Structure 1
Amino acid sequence: MDVKYGINESFTLDATLIPDFGQVISDNVVNNLTPYEVRFDEYRPFFTEGTEIFNKSGLFYSRRIGAAPSGYQDVLELAANDPNIEIVDNPGRTQLYNAIKLSGRTSKKLGIGFFNAIGAPMYATVRDKTSGDETRIKTEALTNYNIIVLDQALRGRSYVTFTNTNVIRNGSGRDANVTGLDFSLYDKKNIYNLRGYGHYSKVFDTDTYDGYNSMLRFGKVSGKIRYSAQNVIRSTNYDPTDLGYQQTANEVVNSGAISYNQFTPTKNFLNYTYTLNVIKRNLYKPGAVTDLTIEGSGFWYLKNFWDITLRAGYLPDQHDYFILGRPFEQYARRPQYGYAGLSGSSDSRKRLFFNYDITVADFFKNPEKKYYVLEGGLRYRFSNKLTMEVSHKYETETDYIISAGRDGMNRPRIAFVDFKEAESILSGIYNFTARINLTLRMRHYWSNVDIKRIALVDNKGLPTNVTPYSGYDNVNYFNTDAFFTWDFQYGSRLILGYKNWLGNDEIVDGNRYKRYIPNLGQAFALRHGNELTVRFIYFLDYNKLRK
């Protein structure tokens, strides 16, 4: 059940009870070869509508709520490591009991936001194949999520924002609290801007720890010539991930940018921009340099409403500490490289619209190493009722370095792999009437990883004790999402949903099917899951009922 209540002309209360978020677009799941968590987009309406104030400080990643239980992967590993154990049930999503959000702004420009959600405890069931005994394993505790935001709009475009996020788990589970203060100050003419924040996190677990994250940025934000300088610090133990998102802590990032902007039309262009960026990264502790990036780009918006972007960059040798994990005492040396890219699109007002993006890298001292990305999309508007889109992306790199875990002496290892990734998406919408439509989205993702060598790393980040290795990791994800929607009256709708997906245990032989088209054919031939859902939403106007 969903409730939307207008408290007054400024504040609105939204609530949902035991929600079912099954009728949303499937995630763009990928084969993650990096040490960083993949961030997914949010498609659930309750978390996309009226949540701007909660996202202002960047401390709220709504996908934490209703995510996979924290013990989900542990159950999978238990069954994988013990052939006598089979999984009877292991829910991949945490059920919500309820969620509410209240937001609005007073006459004195004070924005107020309050969010609360309660996640149900989750359990998995495993069976002993020999005895037949079943065991129930708790994979997630009863969890309470809270967010409080106070956002004061100041003169012009300036503001000050206070945010607090809090996660409390039942029993001895991990608890967390993050508090942040953000500000953005402009001068009277909105030419210069000073922006910054300070965030503090504390995690209450078996070992309690805390940390901080700060940012300070000054820039000229008006006129043809614009520039900025920025400093970001994330301490070693800063951790907002119970309700937020972070790729990595223990990092200091200093960056600067300057651009020339032509906003009024010239003889050949509607507008154009030239930009130069420099980014330097260090570890917070012990302060070692990890990488330096220099990038220049140009953007041109043509008189025919087409656009073109050219970019080029250079990275000297990179010291990747994060791929080897804590305690950040060793690093893997990635080779220096330069890259160039070309992207653009046609006039989006036309019936036929296309876009493209090409990136190629040169690794200088490693001429045998290759990297490139090809990406393109096409949209065609057949009529006012029917529009179809198709896109494809292909990325490949040889001798890419990934983590290979640790050896028997607990020393970090790396692997050199050749990988290929391809993603194809077909989508469309057909409007039967202004209130009835059918949407379709099909996505196929393919990742083929050819493992060539495994090695240890010396104190200069170079591979040592290199061992040849022959192995493949071939991953396919396929999803179809179709929704028929009928808005039969204001706020009320009927939704029929259909989903089709490639089974989680279905595998295509990567050694046999090394090319995209044969691999795709095999993916279609394997077992797929199907789901048909019906959702009926009826809006009850309390004011009309009262009359």
Structure 2
Amino acid sequence: MLSLINNFTKFCIVFFICIPHIINAQQQHSRKNIYAWPSADAPKIDGILDDQVWSDPYNLNDLTAGNTTMLFDKKEDNKYISEGYFIQNSPNNNTLSSQKSKIQIAYDNYAIYISAQLYDTAPDSIRTNMGERDSGGNGGDFFIASFDTYNTQQDAYEFVVSASGVQSDRIQGTSGWDGNWNEIWSSAVKVNEDGWAVEMAIPYRALRMPNGNEQIWGVNFGRVIARTGEVTYWNPIDANKSGYVNQFGTLRGLYDLTPPLRLSLSPYISNVAMSKQGAEQVANTFSGGADIKVGLGQSFTLDVSLVPDFSQVQADNEVLNLSAYEVQYGEFREFFTQGTTIFNKHNQFYSRRIGQNHFTSSDNLLLENESYKYKPTDAPIVNNTKLTGITEKGLGIGILNSITNETYAIIEDSVTGERREVMADPLTNFNMISIEQSLPNNSKVGVMNNNVYRGDDYKSSNVSSLDMQLFDRTNTYKLNAFGSLSQEFFPSEYTETEEISSYTLLGHKISTSGGKVSGNWRYWGSLNIESDTYNPNDMGYNSSNNEIYASTDVSYHEFIATNFYQKYWLRLGYNQNWLYSTKDNITKRIWGDGYLLFNNFWSFNFDMAYHPGLSYDYFGPREEGYYFKEYASNNGGITITSDDRQKYYGSLRLSYWNRPEYQQLDNYISYSQTYRATDRFDLTHSVSWNNQRDEKGYTTTLYTSNGSVDQVIYGNRDVKTFENNITSKYYFTPKMSLKLRLRHYWRRVNYDEFYQLSKEGDLFPTDYTDIDENGNPIQNTNYNTFDLEMSYSWEFLPGSFLTAMWRNELGSSSYNADYNFSQNMQEMWTEPQLNTVSIRLTYFLDYQQLKKQLSRI
């Protein structure tokens, strides 16, 4: 096995480094320049470009330079006004846009200002679809302004305004894009006879910038014309070249900018009322708290959440999990979604761990006649603190700390009625530190450390890791490397017969990957090694360890449009897995996929895979020393998506999975559709159906009287899963909206035969029966979750919100797996419903804005 890994490593070295590289000649673009102009008077942000600074920026009598040595040469007007055609990134890469654009930039001591006249030969065709904040254009036209304030060609602040006036913003860090990042800034748009105009005011509070007499920033501007599908940029972003910020132009003419004191406070009050059907009382909770942002120096921001309130967080998309792996749910809590990109690497940070109940109260704690009356499902968060930022030299730092409170389970004696409390979770501290240093050519190196401390009598943990990403000078080749060490600290345990001393369990993960990431031909290879004791799951997420994984693939990309298509790519790959502890083979897989975008903006995806020979599932049986032998299988699917520029568009997915040895056949079909009835009203619907026939899956484990494994039971089952989602949105204004969300998930599991799993991975007959004393099947399951949410949001002042939400939750689980849809709905609606109504008011206070307003009095 070790020789196989060595041979694979040698192959990667030869494949990625030693063979001659054939690089197609590509059109090279130099960095464009635009100059900003200092203004004595800020423009009025109304979308009407009639301010003095835009109409006559060269009139020195009305402008005041921040530096008296700054020279203004009217012969170089194009330095300050950029007017012309952007360059397409899509659909026709590196060709001129169909429409002209005009850009100007001004600044004062408070903000940087942008004006953009986006010419359009058919102003009536400009799409002004409204949407939620951070929804981009939502099918409409939009404009993008991006600033790389440290000019590192890696980090950028991006501000987006749609033709309807909806704002979006995001931040690019060394770890990728953070679309959940939000800042408070001003913008206005206006459709005019020449097209549409944009004005933006980005306060320095929203940016991080160096000190210095003269500053040079990276900058780019983008424009999307929805009806033609054009994505264009002022400084070209070549689709055939890796990277985004490294293809920016430069912004010059910025003098004597002083990073401001950044201090903001967002106090809130909220009221939550909960009522379960059949209950006599309504649980009502009134609370208040605050979110504080403090700028520490020019680069860092301290976020503190006092008495966090997550009452209006979207409900989880719960499922009936039949696999051996934990379900990873999405994060919707704002504190853990904003500014956390630096932490979200290699699954080292799974924020849902914070507030999660980590200990299941054991039945060993129960005495005779006792049972649990209450078991906590989560641990309340006391406070959250986060420090993030990046220095002028490209050093990014993130520190996060959260504290969760104790939780207690309640045990009741069924004879005496007495109750007692037992601790389920101790006071717990979660801490993470992440440091990254950007390097030339879009490269970086970083370290991370996670620490979870629960006190001396409970298990604690620490995970340390090193991360590296290297590009060559042309951003054509890339190499990644990652290493991690996990430590679990177990306390001493005492029983009636023995004492188990405290001990530390160590585990490790090592992974490396690399290849060619630009050009038409691209290739990639990777090797990942996880020991059987590697466990980052106290604060991270790792579905399984004890595995060696190797893969390689090659792909071809074409971005030059023809009369038939706009672009396409094809990829072919191979991967193989081994068990780390024994080096036994797990599985082999040959696969391929591809994508084609037609000229009419319809698209086609396909994927296919083949698992040859025998594979071995060491995780499914849930018991050490057991594995399940899996025979050859194959799968494939296609996805067809219609033109999303239209009012109505949809996407159809068809796929199958087949294992001939057991006559197993799975079919999956899904369809999603969106109807933009008007610029203000959207309706989105998705439905899916998955039919798994004759699946061989883990059912249960039978134990002997002394606690050892007697039989691992597998079953032959049909699993049918139906999911239906509806989302409806109405936008009163760009700042006010109403949203309705409905989800129904239904899964039926029907067993018809059971087997005993041998330690050699084969299935044999068993005398196990799943019929209870009432004659009902124990293992059959008819599972439902139904969630209905209606939410209202109004941004009545910049950063200040009034929000309200009503949520109805319903769930059921029974053995009636043979029910049809009508019978299932009747059974589900007999279950009690949980209704929650919450109202929250948040007010945003910014020190710089208050200071500016007071200076005018």
**Fold-level match, TM-score > 0.5?**
yes
Confirm or deny that 1:325 pairs with 2:622: yes
Alignment-derived partner of residue 164 in structure 1 = 449
What percentage of aligned pairs have identical amino acids? 31
Count residues in correspondence.
Answer: 538
Structure 1 pair 298–541 and aligned structure 2 pair: CA distance change class (3 A): closer
2:300 paired with 1:30: no
TM-score of the superposition, structure 2-length normalised?
Answer: 0.61
| 1:474 corresponding residue in structure 2 | 782
The alpha-carbon distance between structure 1 residues 187 and 209, as it changes in their structure 2 partners (threshold 3 A), is: same
Alignment of 1:46-445 (within 5 A): 46-67=335-356, 69-72=357-360, 74=362, 85=371, 87=373, 89-206=374-491, 207-316=503-612, 317-327=614-624, 329-367=625-663, 369-409=664-704, 410-411=709-710, 412-445=712-745
Q: 1:250 to 1:179 in 2, by over 3 A?
A: same
Contact 1:193 1:221 (8 Å CA) reproduced = yes
Instruction: Tell me the alpha carbon deviations over residues 271-325 of structure 1, each in whole angstroms, 9 at most, x when there is no partner.
Output: 1111112110110010111111111122111111111012211113321011123
Structure 1 window deviating more from structure 2 (464-473 vs 445-454): it is: 464-473
Q: Which consecutive unaligned segments of at least 5 residues does structure 1 have?
A: none
- The whole-number CA distance in structure 1 between the counterparts of 2:691 and 2:361 is 29
Q: 2: distance between equivalents of 1:143 and 1:545?
A: 38
Matching residue's letter, 2:730: Y
CA distance in 1, matches of 2:595, 2:817: 42
Task: Tell me if the contact between 2:316 and 2:330 (Cα under 8 Å) persists in the aligned partners.
Answer: yes
**How far 1:391 moved relative to its partner?**
0.6
Cα distance in 2 between the residues matched to 1:465 and 1:315: 27
The CA distance in 1 between the partners of 2:767 and 2:601, in whole Å, is: 54
Letter matched to residue 201 of structure 1? S
2:347 partner SS: coil
Q: Which amino acid aligns with 2:513?
A: R
SS at structure 2 position matched to 1:389: strand
- Residue 329 of structure 2 is matched in structure 1 by 40
Q: Give me the whole-angstrom Cα distance separating, in 2, the residues matched to 1:399 and 1:73.
A: 36
Report how far residue 326 of structure 1 moved. 4.7
Q: Distance in 1 between matches of 2:818 and 2:594?
A: 43
Hey, what's the Cα distance between the residues in 2 that align with 1:381 and 1:463?
53
Q: Which residue is equivalent to 1:484?
A: 792
Per the alignment, residue 26 of structure 2 pairs with none
Equivalent residue for 2:251? none
Amino acid at match of 2:358: S
1:406: how far off? 2.2
Q: CA, structure 1 residues 318+83, in 2 after alignment: closer, same or farther (shift >3 Å)?
A: farther
- Residue 510 (1) aligns with residue 816 (2): yes
Q: Output one character per residue of 1:471-504: Cα deviation in whole Å (capped at 9) or x when no partner.
A: 311111111122111111111111111111115x
In the alignment, is the contact (CA less than 8 A) between 1:152 and 1:160 conserved in 2? yes
Paired AA for residue 228 in structure 1: W
The CA distance in 2 between the partners of 1:92 and 1:536, in whole Å, is 27
Matches of 2:451 and 2:640, distance apart in 1: 43
Is 1:98–1:117's contact at 8 Å kept on the other side of the alignment?
yes
Q: Is the 8 A contact 2:361 2:409 kept in 1?
A: no
1:17 corresponds to which residue?
306
Distance (whole Å) between structure 2 residues aligned to residue 86 and residue 253 of structure 1: 43
Residues 452 and 469, structure 1, Cα contact 8 Å, conserved in 2:
no
How far apart in 2 are the matches of 1:341 and 1:379?
A: 22
Task: Tell me which residue corresponds to 2:10.
Answer: none
Root mean square deviation, CA, Å: 2.0
The separation in 1 between residues aligned to 2:375 and 2:698, in whole angstroms, is 28
Higher mean C-alpha displacement, 276-285 vs 313-322: 313-322
Separation in 2, partners of 1:78, 1:34: 28
| Whole-angstrom distance in 2 between the partners of 1:351 and 1:517 | 33
Aligned partners of 1:83, 1:363: CA distance in 2, in Å? 49
C-alpha distance in 2 between matches for 1:545 and 1:420: 59
Specify the SS of the correspondent of 2:458: coil
Structure 1 position 457, deviation (Å): 2.0
Task: Compute the displacement of 1:542 (Å).
Answer: 3.3
Structure 1 residue identity aligned to 2:324: P
2:765 — aligned with what?
A: 465
- Structure richer in strand, relative to its length: 1
Deviation at residue 339 of structure 1 after TM alignment: 1.4
Instruction: Give the equivalent residue in structure 2 for 1:519.
Output: 824
1-structure distance, mates of 2:690, 2:822: 15
| Residue 839 of structure 2, aligned match among 515, 531, 534 | 534
Structure 1 contact 453–468 (Cα < 8 Å) conserved: no
CA distance in 2, matches of 1:426, 1:298: 29
- Going from structure 1 to structure 2, the CA distance change for 1:60 and 1:82 (only over 3 Å counts) comes to farther
**Aligned-pair CA distance for 1:382:** 1.0
Deviates more, 1:465-474 or 1:529-538: 465-474
What is the one-letter code of the residue matched to 1:119?
A: T
SS for the counterpart of 2:342 is helix
Give the secondary-structure state (helix, strand or coil) at the position aligned to 1:267: coil
2:325 alignment partner, SS class: coil
Separation (CA, whole Å) in 2 of partners of 1:274 and 1:465: 46
The answer to whether the 8 Å contact 1:158/1:186 transfers is yes
Shift of 1:543: 4.1
Instruction: Find the aligned partners of 2:448 and 2:413 in 1 and give their Cα distance.
Output: 47
Q: Check whether the contact 2:404–2:427 (CA below 8 A) recurs between aligned residues.
A: yes
Q: Which amino acid is the alignment partner of residue 333 of structure 2?
A: R
Q: 1:23 to 1:230 in 2, by over 3 A?
A: same
Does the residue aligned with 2:694 lie in a helix, a strand or coil? strand
Of 274-283 and 334-343, deviating more is 334-343
Determine the C-alpha separation between the residues in 2 that align with 1:459 and 1:93: 37
Distance in 2 between residues matched to 1:401 and 1:133, nearest whole Å: 45
| Long gaps (5+) in structure 2 | 1-289, 492-502, 771-776
Q: 1:448 to 1:74 in 2, by over 3 A?
A: farther
CA contact under 8 A between 1:453 and 1:467: conserved in structure 2? no
Cα separation, 2, equivalents of 1:19 and 1:331: 45
Q: What is the CA distance between 1:122 and its match in structure 2? A: 0.8
Counterparts of 1:78 and 1:499, CA distance in 2? 36
Instruction: Tell me the amino acid that sits aligned with residue 32 of structure 1.
Output: N
The DSSP-based 3-state class of the residue aligned with 2:335 is: helix
> Shift of residue 132 of structure 1?
1.3
Q: Is the CA contact 2:781–2:813 (under 8 Å) kept in the aligned structure 1?
A: no
Distance 1:21 1:361 in 2: 40
